Amino acid sequence: MKSAVLLLPGLNRDRDMIAALTKIAGTPPLTVWQTETEIPADTDLIVIPGGFSYGDYLRCGAIAARMPVMQAVRDAAGRGTRVIGVCNGFQILLEAGLLPGALMRNASLKFVCREVKLQVVNAQTAFTRAYAKDQVIRCPVAHHDGNYFAEVDTLKRIEDNRQVVFRYAEGTNPNGSLNDIAGIVNEAGNVLGLMPHPENLIEAAHGGVDGRALFESALDTVAA
């Protein structure tokens, strides 16, 4: 599997993401700058890391979502290429219209940086098949705008379609997200957005490896 990591000014979790992908895939991902208009066609997985692209100006992810490279991401996603957006990457995917809903300011108005529990609600996606259904994992979060919102009809649709992949579990919802939503996929199931940072829990030195299975699933390094 070939992976690519998008680079946009203001992202700051790109190095962690590159390190995680390199460790799990065995080879480093390609990096793609925001002004590029093409992503190589043989790319199997595109990852948009976290951070504060464009200083979170206007709305988190709003400016990044309108950069040329995002059209290439849209085209690739349309062809079935897997796409993961973590934290600011999730905000960018929502602003780009690749996922439904929006992320608003945390209900507490505070930046939260802590560990939460996540329930794997759907373990049949390309990103979660190395987990067990309803498995509860640990994962760090670090964000100010992670409060998932969607209109009633949209919320019902994504719940009915099993597009909700991760929920904050055991009372650890850090931001007021509707239905405790922490991560969702698009209708086709090849685009995942989540607020928590699985790339920061992939080796013993991190204090746990609960995030590893997400990348192992996405990179096909585990048997299905």
Partner 1 sequence: MIKARVTVTLKNGVLDPQGKAIEGALGALGFNGVGHVRQGKVFDVELQTDDRTEAESQINAMCEQLLANTVIEDYAVEIA
* Residue 155 Cβ vs partner 1, minimum distance, rounded to whole Å: 12
3-state secondary structure of 183: strand
**Residue with Cβ nearer partner 1 (65 or 73):** 65
For the annotated catalytic residues, the residue numbers are 87, 197, 199
Q: Are 86 and 198 in contact (CB under 8 A)?
A: yes
* Residue 59 Cβ vs partner 1, minimum distance, rounded to whole Å: 6
Binding site for partner 1 (CB under 8 A): 58-59, 62, 66, 94-95, 100-102, 104-109, 147, 149-151, 176
Tell the burial category of 25 from Cβ atoms under 10 Å away from its Cβ (0-12, 13-18, 19+).
buried
**Residue with Cβ nearer partner 1 (193 or 198):** 193
Q: Are 199 and 184 in contact (CB under 8 A)?
A: no
* Residue 13 Cβ vs partner 1, minimum distance, rounded to whole Å: 23
Instruction: Identify the CA nearest to 103 among candidates 65, 130, 137, 73.
Output: 65
* Residue 122 Cβ vs partner 1, minimum distance, rounded to whole Å: 22
**Residue with Cβ nearer partner 1 (23 or 149):** 149
**Residue with Cβ nearer partner 1 (107 or 132):** 107
* Residue 82 falls in which region: left (phi positive, over 0), alpha (psi -120 to 50) or beta: beta
* Residue 69 Cβ vs partner 1, minimum distance, rounded to whole Å: 17
* Residue 43 falls in which region: left (phi positive, over 0), alpha (psi -120 to 50) or beta: beta
Task: State the Cα–Cα distance between residues 151 and 41, nearest whole angstrom.
Answer: 35
Q: Residue 59: what residue type?
A: R
DSSP 203: B
Task: State the Cα–Cα distance between residues 14 and 24, nearest whole angstrom.
Answer: 15
**Residue with Cβ nearer partner 1 (134 or 151):** 151
- Tokens for 106? 């945390």
